[in-house]
């Protein structure tokens, strides 16, 4: 993993709480199964993990999926999360996901950050 990318992702994970209205926490470690980036009326980035998630959100707990909310409509932010998740998936590296407490019945818990675990 490139040091510059890891630094950018870590900085974003630190700054993101200022923009969120809900309580947030890190979850993991996980390995990434699937990463999606699409438009459905707003930017959407979803991450599906291989492990079973237990975060108290029906969609996330059943499908192990989390989503960057479309309300945070920054293409650059979505691209950063997407790139970090793809890099971790391609290399088989574990991640921690920074989630808030909001549970969307269609998209699961809101994803606000990703930490690449390199041990």
| Per-residue model confidence as pLDDT tens for the chain (119 residues) | 666 666 666 666 655 544 544 588 899 999 999 999 988 888 889 999 999 999 999 999 999 999 998 776 677 888 889 999 999 999 999 999 999 999 999 999 999 999 999 86
- pLDDT the model gives residue 73: 62
Give the distance between the most distant pair of CA atoms in the chain: 39
Beta bridge partners, 32, equal 49
Instruction: Note the pTM of the prediction, 2 decimals.
Output: 0.78
Of 63, 73, 77, residue with least CA distance to 34: 63
- pLDDT the model gives residue 54: 93
All domains in the chain, ordered by first residue: 3-116 (2.40.50.110)
Strands (E), the chain: 24-30, 32-39, 43-49, 65-68, 95-104, 108-116
């Amino acid at each position: 993993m490139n040091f510059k990318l890891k630094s950018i992702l870590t900085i974003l994970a630190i700054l993101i709480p200022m923009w969120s209205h809900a309580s947030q926490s890190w979850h993991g470690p996980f390995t990434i199964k699937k990463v999606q980036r699409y438009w459905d009326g707003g930017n959407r980035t979803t991450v599906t993990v291989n492990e079973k998630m237990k975060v108290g959100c029906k969609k996330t707990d059943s499908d192990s999926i989390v989503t960057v909310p479309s309300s945070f409509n920054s293409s650059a932010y979505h691209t950063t999360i997407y790139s970090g998740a793809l890099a971790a998936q391609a290399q088989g590296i574990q991640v921690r996901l920074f989630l808030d407490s909001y549970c969307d019945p269609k998209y699961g818990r809101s994803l606000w950050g990703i930490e690449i675990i390199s041990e």
